[in-house]
A and B are shown apart, each in its own frame.
Chain A
Amino acid sequence: MTTPAPLLSVNNLSLGVVRSGHRPTVIVDDVSFTVAKGERFGIVGESGSGKSLTLRAIAGLLPAGIDALSGSVTYEGRDLFSTSSAARRKLMGPEIAMVFQEPMTALNPVVRVGEQIAEGPRRHLGLSRAAAMALAIEMMAKTGIPDPAKRARAFPHELSGGLRQRIMIAMALSCRPKLLLCDEPTTALDVTVQHQVLRLLEQLCDDFGAALIFVTHDLAVVNQTCDNLAVMYAGHIVESGRVKDVFRDPRHPYTRGLLDSAPDFDQPDRALVPIPGFPPNLADRPSGCAFAPRCIHAQPGCLVASPALESLAPGRSVACIESDSIFQGVPA
Chain B
Amino acid sequence: MTTSAVLRVSNISKNYHVPSPILSKLRPGALRRESLTALDGIDLELRAGEILALVGESGSGKSTLAKILVGSVEASAGQLDYRGLPMPVRRGRDATRRIQMVFQDPYSSLNPRITVGAILAELLKLHKIVPRNEVRAESIRLLNLVGMQEEALDAYPSQFSGGQRQRIAIARALAVRPDVLIADEPVSALDVSVQATILELFTSLRVELGLSILFVAHNLAVVQHLSQRVAVMYLGRIVEVAETAELFANPRHPYTQALIGSIPRMSESSVNLELVLEGEPPSPYDIPSGCRFHPRCPAAVTACREIDPSLTAVAADHQSACLLANELPAFYPVATS
Interface residues of A (CB under 8 A from B): 46-47, 146, 160-163, 190-196, 198-199, 217-221, 223-224, 243-244, 247-248, 257-259, 261-268, 272-275, 278
Contact = CB atoms under 8 A, between A and B. Distances in A.
Contacts of A194: 262, 264
Contacts, number: 132
Given A162-B280, A192-B57, A198 B193 contact: no
Contacts of A47: 162, 191
Given A217-B191, A274-B194, A195 B267 contact: no
Contacts of B219: 191, 263
B5 interface: no
Interface in B30-83: 57-58
A274 B104 CA distance: 19
Interface in B248-287: 248, 258-259, 261-268, 270-273, 275-281
B192 interface: yes
Given A194-B264, A220-B265, A265-B221, A274 B258 contact: no
Interface string B171-195: 0000000000000000000011111
B224 interface: yes
6 contacts: A190-B281, A191-B218, A191-B220, A218-B264, A247-B266, A262-B195
B280 A160 contact: yes
A297 to B, nearest CB: 16
Contacts of B192: 46, 217-219, 258, 261-262
- Top 10 nearest A-B pairs (CB, nearest first) are A220-B264, A195-B262, A190-B57, A274-B196, A272-B196, A275-B193, A46-B191, A274-B197, A261-B196, A263-B221
Contact of B57 (A191, A221, A243): A191
B300 interface: no
Interface residues of B, number: 45
Contacts of B197: 274
A190 B266 contact: no
Contact of A261 (B193, B245, B273, B277): B193
B268 A247 contact: yes
A41 B275 CA distance: 22
A44 to B, nearest CB: 9
B148 interface: no
A263 B220 CA distance: 9
A273 to B, nearest CB: 7
Given A191-B259, A218-B192, 13 more contacts: A47-B162, A191-B219, A192-B276, A194-B262, A194-B264, A199-B275, A220-B263, A221-B264, A262-B196, A265-B266, A266-B270, A273-B196, A274-B194
Contacts of A259: 266
A257 B276 CA distance: 31
B199 interface: yes
Contacts of A219: 192, 266
Interface of B: 57-58, 161-162, 191-197, 199-200, 218-222, 224-225, 245, 248, 258-259, 261-268, 270-273, 275-281, 333-334
Contacts of A46: 191-193
B225 A268 contact: yes
A223 B265 contact: yes
Contacts of A244: 268
A196 B281 CA distance: 13
Contacts of A198: 264
B280 A220 contact: no
Contact of B277 (A196, A224, A273): A196
Nearest to A202: B273
Residue with the highest number of chain B CB atoms closer than 10 Å, among A191, A243, A268: A191
A95 B287 CA distance: 43
A160 B218 CA distance: 18
A219 B193 CA distance: 11
Contacts of A278: 161
Given A192-B258, A219-B192, A224-B264, A272 B57 contact: no
Given A190-B57, A224-B271, A266 B264 contact: no
Nearest to A45: B191
Contacts of A195: 261-262, 264, 272, 275-277
Contacts of A248: 267-268
B265 A224 contact: yes
A34 B161 CA distance: 34
Contacts of B58: 161, 190
Contacts of A268: 224-225, 245, 248
A52 to B, nearest CB: 14
B267 A266 contact: yes
B267 A247 contact: yes
Nearest to A220: B264
A126 to B, nearest CB: 35
Residue with the highest number of chain B CB atoms closer than 10 Å, among A46, A196, A264, A274: A274
A252 B192 CA distance: 17
A223 B268 contact: yes
Contacts of B224: 263, 265, 268
A223 B266 contact: yes
A196 B221 CA distance: 18
A266 B333 CA distance: 9
Contacts of B268: 223, 243-244, 247-248
Contacts of B196: 261-263, 272-275
Contacts of B272: 195, 224
B271 A258 contact: no
Contacts of B218: 190-191
Nearest to A243: B268
A32 B276 CA distance: 37
A190 B193 CA distance: 22
A263 B225 contact: yes
B267 A223 contact: yes
A191 B259 CA distance: 7
A71 to B, nearest CB: 26
A265 B197 CA distance: 18
A262 B262 contact: no
B236 to A, nearest CB: 15
A267 B270 CA distance: 11
